Amino acid sequence: MRLFKKATGIGMTAVLAIGLAACGNADAKNDDEKISGTTGNVGESVDYTITGIDPGSGHMELTAKVLEEYDLPDWNVTSGSGAAMTAALKRAYDKEEPIIITAWSPHWKFSKFDLKYLDDPQLIYGDAEEIHTLGRTGFKEDFPEAYTIFQRFSWDMDDMAEIMIAIEDGEKPEVAARTWVDDNQDKVSEWTDGVAKVNGETIKLVYAPWDSELASHNMMKIVLEDMGYDVQLSMVEPGPMFSAVADGSADATFAAWLPNTHKTYVEKFEGEFEDIGVSMVGVKQGLAVPTYMEGVDSIEDLKSN
């Protein structure tokens, strides 16, 4: 079975019924049911394709396992980027066409589109996850002030969503981050209270190419710069992100989703970094569809009848 293929979009099966009125009405009804997934033909309606993200992500690894564990041999997952996935979602959503995507929250798409997660009775994607802050070995000794801030750093999905939505609406990431920091000084002060400012020390932060991580790292860049640091941001795939923290070429990341999404990388680099703390709880990943796709509520519903 071929699980992954490069694609710029998602193939759709379109059926147009033309004929006598009675036949036309029956065919149109059947077509509507295929699109909504009410007849068990959801696979046909999306060409047995799930629209995925970057191939190096733990989410895609778990999605491959989903196809295996749920016995979905006819299905495949396109790989690309988070931006390509959301572009495909928008195209389908605007036309009320069926689409299945790899999804995670927090993410701005749940504010822009009416979506629902598919139930995962086997918990392949796991239960609710946490986002952890990781630092390279020796980070605490080299940057004690920043280490204290990172230990205290905690916010919720609504906080992150404010920045993500502003960026999606056209704001530059650094401007959206600055606005949030200025509007949430009470929260920021909980992280920085009593921490001495520094004089231009350079910190290198690395993050995966997800909208959520773009938001968190630009926000923390502003916080650290206000404390006197020179902050360098680098966006890389998840594998190189963990590798950079493990080998010390990056100082820290706020993009480790545990215990499931990045389990492979945590095990690979065990003992080569420090888990500094949890910045967010209750985050989630899985497969999602627009709510107009009726009769598709579980991954089990993807099986052919």
Residue 178: predicted pLDDT: 98
Q: What pLDDT is recorded for position 3?
A: 37
User: Per-residue pLDDT tens for 23-44?
Assistant: 344 443 444 444 443 345 899 9
Cβ neighbours of residue 167 under 8 Å, at least 6 residues apart? Answer: 108, 173, 176, 211, 214, 215
Q: What residue ranges of the chain are covered by domains with CATH 3.40.190.100?
A: 4-126+286-302
The CATH code that applies to domain 4-126+286-302 is 3.40.190.100
pTM over 0.85: no
Backbone φ and ψ of 202, nearest 5°: -95, 130
Architecture of domain 129-284: Roll (3.10)
- Residue 239: CB atoms within 10 A of its CB come to 17
- Can you give the pLDDT at residue 81? 85
CATH 3.10.105.10 residue ranges of the chain are 129-284
Q: pLDDT tens digits for 180-195? A: 999 999 999 999 999 9
Do 3 and 77 touch, CB atoms closer than 8 A?
yes
pLDDT at site 210: 87
Q: What amino acid occupies position 111? A: S
DSSP the chain: ---EEE-SS---------SSHHHHHHHHHHHHHHHHTTTS-HHHHTTTEEE---TTSHHHHHHHHHHHHTT-TT-EEEE--HHHHHHHHHHHHHTT----EEEEES-THHHHS-EEEPB-TT-SS-S-EEEEEEEETTHHHH-HHHHHHHHH----HHHHHHHHHHHHTT--HHHHHHHHHHHTHHHHHHHHTTPPP-SS-EEEEEE-S-HHHHHHHHHHHHHHHHTT-EEEEEE--HHHHHHHHHHTSS-EEEEEEETTTTHHHHHHTTTSEEEEEEEEEEEEEEEEEETTSTT--BGGGGS--
pLDDT at residue 135 is higher than 80: yes
Q: Quick check: 90 pLDDT over 60?
A: yes
- Residue 71 pLDDT level (bands cut at 50, 70, 90): very high
Token pair belonging to 269? 């680099």
pLDDT at 18 over 70: no
pLDDT in tens, 210-262: 899 999 999 999 999 999 999 999 999 999 999 999 999 999 999 999 998 89
Residue 293's nearest CA partner among 29, 41, 21, 24 is 41
